[in-house]
Each structure stands twice: as structure tokens, then as C-alpha cells.
Structure 1
Amino acid sequence: MADEIPSIQVLDKKDYFKQALVSLPNALPYPALAPSSLRLRTTVLSLTVNNFTYAALGTLLHWWDVHPLPASTPAPYNDSTQYGRISAWGYAEVLE
């Protein structure tokens, strides 16, 4: 895990079919976890029609605010007025 650069999926809020996997090299080293917190690594990710509903209604229902862009997100994807993240279904491995 120490050598692995994390990445996130980022969507264009106006055209959420435009997506990118963005590396976050400045996220390392990871900060210490707060009590009762977990550090996870996604192993399987699935997008369904339900996930696109989150994106379509993201501004109205504030779903874009649920998973804010990390502070280490590089430009141009660090512009939260244009880019965001939504919930997805999947499985994860517990790292810590």
C-alpha cells in the first residue's frame, strides 16, 4: 500500500458521461485515521442507472456534496464547480 498511488473517479457535473480516473500522488503519505474510521481500497466498482440518477439530481439534492473532491485533486479536476464524485456500488478491502 505504501507505494501505491491512490486514484479517484471524477465526473463532469454538466455531462456526467464524461469521466476520468485521476491519480492523487499528493495524497501520500496518508493522514492518520481518526477514531472509529476505516481506510478502504475499492476492489470492484459498479455503476447502475441509480448512480446516474445521483448525478442527474446531484445539484438539486446536494448529492455532489456527499463525496467532496480531496484537497490533493490535481487541476483541472480540482474545480468542484465543474467536477464531482457520486456514490457507487461495489466491494472494498479494509486496509486499516
Structure 2
Amino acid sequence: MQNNQPVEFNHAINYVNKIKNRFQGQPDIYKAFLEILHTYQKEQRNAKEAGGNYTPALTEQEVYAQVARLFKNQEDLLSEFGQFLPDANSSAVR
């Protein structure tokens, strides 16, 4: 399992760089994307530390929906983002 981690990490770094480059002229979109990720990570950390006694305020589906609104008309970016949130992606396709 550890062998997959660097590849996934590199994929994530490359993806974030792609977003930064795509929205070079719109730094607010890039900043909003980072804020969504930061909030999601914080919620996941809180849930983990609480040992199941905490329900994250931001689900994968909500993260996906927020990013979808942010990346409107950027289907390639949204599709790639869905790879990082498989649970959200499958339920969003209904």
C-alpha cells in the first residue's frame, strides 16, 4: 500500500498545479479551491480524532458539489477531481 502513496501524492500535487495554472488570471478561484480542501481536511481530522463521535460538517458529496460550482465549464478538472473522492463521484452521477 505504501508504494501507491507517492504516486497518489504526486498526482495530487500535479492536479493542484494544473488548477493553479488554469486559473492564473482568476486567483480567487484557486484560493477558494484550496479553502474547500483545507476545510474538508480539517473536518476529516476532527472526525478521526473524535473516534466516531463526530460527524464532519462537510461530506465528500458536499465537497464535490462545491468544487463543481467553482469549476463550472471545466469538465476535465472536475472529472479528475472525482478520482480523489470516489464516494462523492459515484453518488453525484445519479
Please report the TM-score for the alignment, with normalisation by the length of structure 1: 0.28
Tell which has more relative contact order, 1 or 2 (C-alpha 8 A, sep 6+). Answer: 1
Q: TM-score, normalised by structure 2?
A: 0.28
Per residue, is there more helix in 1 or in 2? 2
Which structure: greater strand fraction?
Answer: 1
